[in-house]
């Protein structure tokens, strides 16, 4: 059985790490949401969804947006890890149709969502079963990269990480951030490598690209996005984006 639900998210809404007993397909029917799960952070507009296997710990944030969650009791072959799929118009309409079935209470928890499979759900017709089968057939991996932005545990590095995440356009170099943290540049560099598994420069690039994805998903022009996330020119931003994702910013959400 497949149960679809829509959730209205106000600005800054965050569902902390949780897991479901059933598989989940989620995306933003309106606006943009991001999901953090093992393997990275995925920014999801209306054209991209993330398949989250049952039992996978994940967190969701976004808003203002409408998050669409489709809970599935069986997985297509090969969908063993979080996987991005393209939301085609047909997939979107099928999920919208399934979402018209009786909703859960507004304050439903993750366990309550899972319980929908054991509770009364309007199900009579073979038409519903056909719709569910077609929806599963439409799940095709999009084959896109993701962004990983782990946070360091050391208080000095964490202070810098939180400041960079809050303002990706801040152009201070490692020396400048080291002064901000009360550490030497060498120490700060080591703390980032030890705490995140990547250099400070690589980590900051990932922060900027993650922020860029959210802006691009809302239709913000590339030149504006480049400036807002700290690149001096659109060409430099496009080069970094292409290196990370294999496509240009303009092509990313049209795949």
- Nearest-angstrom CA–CA distance, 185 and 138: 50
Nearest to 186 by CA among 9, 177, 100: 177
- Nearest-angstrom CA–CA distance, 212 and 191: 25
Q: Which fold has domain 155-252?
A: Arc Repressor Mutant, subunit A (1.10.10)
pLDDT score for 120: 45
Strand partners, 15: 60
- Nearest-angstrom CA–CA distance, 221 and 22: 38
Q: Is 121 helix (H, G, I), strand (E, B) or coil?
A: coil
- Nearest-angstrom CA–CA distance, 237 and 52: 30
Residues of the chain with CATH 1.10.10.60: 155-252
Confirm if 104 and 112 have CB atoms less than 8 A apart.
yes
- Cis? peptide before 64, omega within 30° of 0: yes
Per-residue pLDDT of the chain (255 residues; tens, 9 = 90+): 788 888 899 988 999 999 999 999 999 888 888 898 987 888 887 888 999 999 999 999 988 889 999 999 888 888 899 998 988 889 988 888 877 765 444 444 455 545 544 444 444 557 777 888 888 889 988 766 677 788 999 999 999 999 999 999 999 999 999 999 999 999 999 999 999 999 999 999 999 998 998 888 778 999 999 999 999 999 999 999 998 888 888 887 665
Homologous superfamily of domain range 2-137? Jelly Rolls (2.60.120.10)
pLDDT score for 124: 53
Count CA atoms closer than 13 A to 165's CA, side-chain side: 12
87-115 as b/e: b if 16+ CB within 10 A: beeebbebbeebbeeeebeeeeeeeebbe
pLDDT score for 254: 66
C-alpha dist (Å) from residue 232 to 86, 105, 215: 32, 48, 17
Residues of the chain with CATH 2.60.120.10: 2-137
Look-up of token digits 């069986």: 74
Give me the phi and psi of 244, to 5 degrees please: -80, -40
Q: What is the DSSP string of 230-251?
A: T-SSHHHHHHHHHHHHSS-HHH
**What is the pTM for the complete model shown?**
0.69
């Amino acid at each position: 059985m497949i149960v679809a639900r829509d959730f209205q998210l106000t600005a800054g809404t965050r569902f902390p790490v949780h897991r479901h007993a059933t598989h989940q397909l989620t995306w933003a029917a309106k606006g943009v949401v991001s999901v953090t799960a093992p393997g990275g952070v995925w920014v999801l507009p209306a054209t991209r969804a993330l398949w989250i296997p049952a039992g996978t710990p994940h967190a969701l944030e976004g808003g203002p947006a409408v998050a669409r969650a489709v809970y599935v009791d069986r997985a297509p072959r090969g969908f063993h890890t979080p996987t991005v799929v393209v939301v085609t118009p047909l997939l979107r309409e099928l999920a919208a149709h399934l979402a018209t079935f009786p909703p859960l209470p507004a304050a439903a928890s993750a366990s309550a969502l899972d319980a929908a499979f054991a509770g009364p759900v309007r199900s009579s017709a073979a038409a519903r079963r056909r719709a569910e089968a077609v929806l599963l057939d439409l799940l095709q991996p999009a084959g896109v990269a993701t962004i990983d932005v782990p946070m360091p545990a050391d208080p000095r590095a964490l202070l810098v990480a939180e400041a960079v995440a809050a303002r990706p356009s801040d152009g201070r170099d490692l020396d400048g951030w080291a002064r901000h943290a009360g550490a030497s540049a060498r120490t700060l560099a080591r703390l980032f490598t030890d705490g995140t598994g990547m250099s400070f420069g690589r980590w900051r690039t990932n922060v900027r690209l993650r922020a860029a994805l959210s802006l691009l998903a809302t239709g913000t022009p590339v030149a504006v996005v480049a400036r807002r996330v700290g690149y001096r020119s659109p060409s430099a931003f496009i080069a970094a984006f292409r290196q990370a994702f294999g496509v240009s910013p303009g092509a990313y959400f049209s795949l």
